[in-house]
Structure 1
Amino acid sequence: MAHVVSAPRLPQIACAITRTTQRTHDIIRLGLDRSPLFGGDIAGQGPRYCPSIEDKIVRFGDRDGHQLFLEPEGLDTPLVYPNGLSTSLPLDIQAAAISSIAGLERATIVAPGYAVEYDFLDPRSLDATLMSRAYPGLFCAGQINGTTGYEEAAGQGLIAGINAAAHALGLESYRPSRRSSYLGVMIDDLVLQGVSEPYRMLTSRAEYRLRLRADNAPTRLGPDAVRLGCLAPADAKRHSERQREFDRIRAAFAMETTAVELAGRGVQVALDGARRSAADWLRFPNVSAQDVLSAEMLEASDPALVDEAVTDARYAPYLARQDLEVAALERDQAATLDPALDYRGIPGLSKEMVERLTAVQPTTMADASRIRGITPAALTTILLHSKRAAA
């Protein structure tokens, strides 16, 4: 019997893309003296990864345009959100700027853009459950912890909510691991390093990011959800069924076959006489799940789970190497660094990390690890670069 794949079928509506123009930029420059961001009324440091349109035009004055996404607010409303055009400019400047953009010439502003400045608590005052160290039973989540909004706020809300309930009921708390989730990376960064600007979760902050894929989130975090009682009985049952099916697929990938057998199925592989597991064969060019699994197995399996197992198999050597690199990093905290090291020449470091490392000029890996905003993944990059330079 064929496996029935259930996936949400949600109604869709198209977004559009446009760009600011040189005229847009001229209009905005004329209004900069009336912007609270540039007039001194707002002194706080804004989010690095979603700057205002004023910031973009001042910092990147050589650009002739900036891309905007026109995002419908809903299925049954004419409202459109111009993503990329956040601003604190006066309404008359906003209206003139909007009308200078292709596709928006006749648009009407319903809700003007605005700027806010808010305070936050130092997230280092929280423990890994997001509970205040000074006030037991008080849990904090979202922008009050110094992060940006949206996903970061939702992720913290989930963890803080779980732990607030556990605290109230006298149950075991939950501390997500850096190894198993971006939630763990974010909370670890916040409570250990603090923030100097609104924190944004980036994949580059995770040293285990090869494991942290979107497709394997139920496999990584489903057991925690079940153990903590976060799933309704029907959802917990579905997760259990999913796990059993995934175990069955992985067992099939562990079965061995020879090059001769694969060639007999029409797969182009070298006839080296070796006997390998299906997972090992998947790391060869031109070999797919259809080549190493039976038609009956494929017919009875969820394609999404098969794809997840295939990705696991193909990433396996890289995951093993990543584990060795992380273990080596933990051993090499005492490794020395050249105080004159030019961090701009190290590939993979973000601009903000280069700025902080250059300002501090750490002399050991341990020193570098204590600089705010320097991720474990960045530390691995610095260590490898330093070793190569010394060789």
Structure 2
Amino acid sequence: MDVKRYIQGEYDLVVVGAGHAGSEAALAAARMGLKTALLCINLDSIAAMSCNPNIGGTGKGHLVREIDALGGEMAKVIDKAFIQSRMLNTSKGPAVHSLRVQADKRLYHDVMKRVLENQENLYLHEAEATDLIIEDSKVKGVVSNTGAVYKTKAAVLCTGTYLRGRIYIGELNYSSGPQGFRPAGKLSNSLEGLGFNLMRLKTGTPARVLKSSLDYSNMEVQRGDEKVVPFSFENIDKDLNKKQEVCYLTYTTKKCHDIIRENINRSALYLGDIEGVGPRYCPSIEDKVVRFADKDSHQVFIEPEGLTTDEMYVQGVSSSLPEEIQGEFYKEIIGLKNVKILRPAYAIEYDAIDATSLKRTLEHMEIEGLFFAGQINGSSGYEEAAAQGIMAGINAALKVKGEEGLVLKRSEAYIGVLIDDLVTKGTKEPYRMMTSRAEYRLTLRQDNADLRLTEIGRKIGLISDERYEKFLYRKNRIKEELNRLSDIKVNPSEENNKKLKSLGSSPIKNAISIKELIRRPELNYKISSIFDSKRPYLRDDIIEAVEIEIKYEGYIKKQQIQINQFKKMENRKLDLNMDYSKIEGLRLEAREKLNNIKPESLAQASRITGVSPADINVLLIYLEQQRRKNES
């Protein structure tokens, strides 16, 4: 029997789901002045780390820094909740340096929940959204399972893996959200009733095991960095060093793989029960054993789940095999002979939309005021979800205010790459951010996210006066030091050349700036101080920024030329109401794809799968013809 509906209240925005996407969306909108309701099936699941207990990593760390630069919350929360911190890829160039930290997952939840509870304009409700009220193709309200109607001007759906969530452990499968939380069973029906073609996606998680049951003697110790680099630019001048937890590296074995192969027909993935496609870059152990049959071992990382528990996360060994088979093959991993499994591994399947039905603001093309963010758009990971969440929250707020939406270009941010990929190309498997996806990664470094995006965050009202002052200090010190190093000349004296020779550098014949000296591969900012008696004290982050700008100046300038060419294409706007079926010369596939996706610019059109360079030339000719026609 249907429950009786009643008006719970009127809001500017309703956010459905309080995971990493929903938390950022709700906070952004509330901080921009919107009366915001945040609905969550269970308040204990707010910002839950349902899978891995870490934040960041290659590509993902860039997203966290960008969220922070815009005024988001993820970086500040993890700076409070981290238990180990490591900067990855330090042996490579700065473009791929990425911060990755282990989290106390319970503390992360507690800190984020407290932030949400105390945010002005934000109203938390434990409620399951079951229906959307749409009138004249506009969002008018969200209905909960208790019959409560949350009247609203806009809505952001951030449902994570809860939409018709289903857990798979071997032959066993049952309706559930992640970590045993209740799934969202009815909202999918509402979306299908509105014409959405939902697809099934799959992800998985490994077993949690008891710390004291493991033998660490044959494992490689993984320690955190001696000096902790904060994720948030707000903490850049603070000392976050503390006693860090230890992680371990171990390996699967041939016997482990043999057990998996012998029982592969009992994996839910191979039984045919799971419809959805799993993440390519985070495969289950069954996938790895089948796809890389020539390998007798795979890396396994043993990671603590927090400071108040002895549960350990076995990264790299997610599975949907039966529980008793898991008990067998986990024991064949080096160091896990006497392992005690506390929670079995499982796969989870859930509903997602085709993100090509969205604008780059993450608003639906046909339903005004309806925004989507996170795994419902086909992405994977906390960081990808949070990045979409803050953008959806910002754009929903701008929509309600009657202002133009915010779209970050691929040349401006990894967030721009993420959203553009999802809405332009779509995805058939959970999308993971990687540095290789960004064409302009040398200019989109994690260290300069604030220089790229904080002015934008300030303009839309997410950066406080205090934060902005700190940003201007850092920005100005970098600029001043670059100018100062350009102005100071080193003369070709015998003494200076002797110093250069002692440093393994060639002598100079003409006076050159210290900036030019630092550009030499064998020299750096610190070493060059012997030629610079009046060098000012600068923070390490400022020194790092100065050195990167100098060392990579030539490459950065070349990339800036490419970015300027890209912007020309981005600035060639396309009419969203254009009927591509009427443009002669376009191939049939291109017409269909362009009409479905409705690109906002020529550059976006060029990135659509199935639209060739020849099709873009046809569009260029057509646009020029239309321009001349309008002028005549």
TM-score tier, shorter chain, comes to 0.7 to 0.9
Q: 1:26 aligns with which of 248, 251, 258?
A: 258
Rounded to whole Å, the distance in 2 between the matches of 1:110 and 1:247 is 53
Residue 279 (structure 1) aligned with residue 512 (structure 2)? no
Q: 2:327 aligns with which of 72, 88, 95?
A: 95
Residue 294 (structure 1) aligned with residue 532 (structure 2)? yes
The CA deviation at 1:6 is 2.4
Residue 154 (structure 1) aligned with residue 386 (structure 2)? yes
Q: Superposed, which structure 2 residues align to 1:155-170 within 5 Å?
A: 155-170=387-402
The CA deviation at 1:137 is 1.4
Aligned to 1:308: 545
Structure richer in strand, relative to its length: 2
Rounded to whole Å, the distance in 2 between the matches of 1:58 and 1:22 is 13
Aligned to 2:32: none
User: What TM-score does the superposition give when structure 1 sets the normalisation length?
Assistant: 0.78
The CA deviation at 1:57 is 0.6
Tell me, yes or no, if the aligned pair for 1:259 and 1:270 is still in contact at 8 Å: no
2:302 match: secondary structure? strand
Rounded to whole Å, the distance in 1 between the matches of 2:394 and 2:605 is 34
The CA deviation at 1:110 is 1.7
1:134 match: secondary structure? coil
Q: Superposed, which structure 2 residues align to 1:319-334 within 5 Å?
A: 319-324=556-561
The CA deviation at 1:190 is 1.3
State the percentage of identical aligned residues: 38
Rounded to whole Å, the distance in 2 between the matches of 1:37 and 1:137 is 37
Q: 1:229 aligns with which of 457, 461, 485?
A: 461
Unaligned ranges ≥5, structure 1: 333-365, 375-391
Rounded to whole Å, the distance in 2 between the matches of 1:235 and 1:295 is 32
Aligned to 1:260: 492
The alignment covers a number of residue pairs equal to: 338
Using the TM superposition, name which of 276-285 and 305-314 deviates more.
276-285
Tell me, yes or no, if the aligned pair for 1:33 and 1:39 is still in contact at 8 Å: yes
User: What TM-score does the superposition give when structure 2 sets the normalisation length?
Assistant: 0.50
1:47 match: secondary structure? coil
Rounded to whole Å, the distance in 2 between the matches of 1:167 and 1:327 is 29
The change in CA–CA distance for 1:113 and 1:212 in structure 2 (over 3 A counts) is same
Rounded to whole Å, the distance in 1 between the matches of 2:401 and 2:242 is 37
Rounded to whole Å, the distance in 1 between the matches of 2:549 and 2:319 is 43
Aligned to 2:373: 141
When the two chains are superposed, the root-mean-square deviation of aligned CA atoms in Å is 2.9
Letter in structure 1 aligned against 2:555: Y
2:343 match: secondary structure? coil
The CA deviation at 1:44 is 2.1
The CA deviation at 1:174 is 1.8
Aligned to 1:371: 609
Tell me, yes or no, if the aligned pair for 1:193 and 1:373 is still in contact at 8 Å: no
Residue 57 (structure 1) aligned with residue 296 (structure 2)? no
Rounded to whole Å, the distance in 2 between the matches of 1:122 and 1:143 is 11
2:269 match: secondary structure? helix
Letter in structure 1 aligned against 2:521: P
Rounded to whole Å, the distance in 2 between the matches of 1:303 and 1:265 is 29
Q: 2:310 aligns with which of 72, 78, 92?
A: 78
1:24 match: secondary structure? helix
For residues 301-342 of structure 1, the C-alpha deviation after alignment (integer angstroms, 9 at most, x for no partner) is 11211111111111111122234456678999xxxxxxxxxx
Tell me, yes or no, if the aligned pair for 1:122 and 1:146 is still in contact at 8 Å: yes
Tell me, yes or no, if the aligned pair for 2:266 and 2:322 is still in contact at 8 Å: yes
Aligned to 1:123: 355
Structure richer in helix, relative to its length: 1
The CA deviation at 1:144 is 0.7
For residues 234-279 of structure 1, the C-alpha deviation after alignment (integer angstroms, 9 at most, x for no partner) is 2222212222222222222331414526926823454444344433
Deviant stretches of 4+, over 4 Å: 269-272, 324-332, 366-369
Q: 2:435 aligns with which of 200, 203, 206?
A: 203
The CA deviation at 1:23 is 1.4
The change in CA–CA distance for 1:152 and 1:90 in structure 2 (over 3 A counts) is same
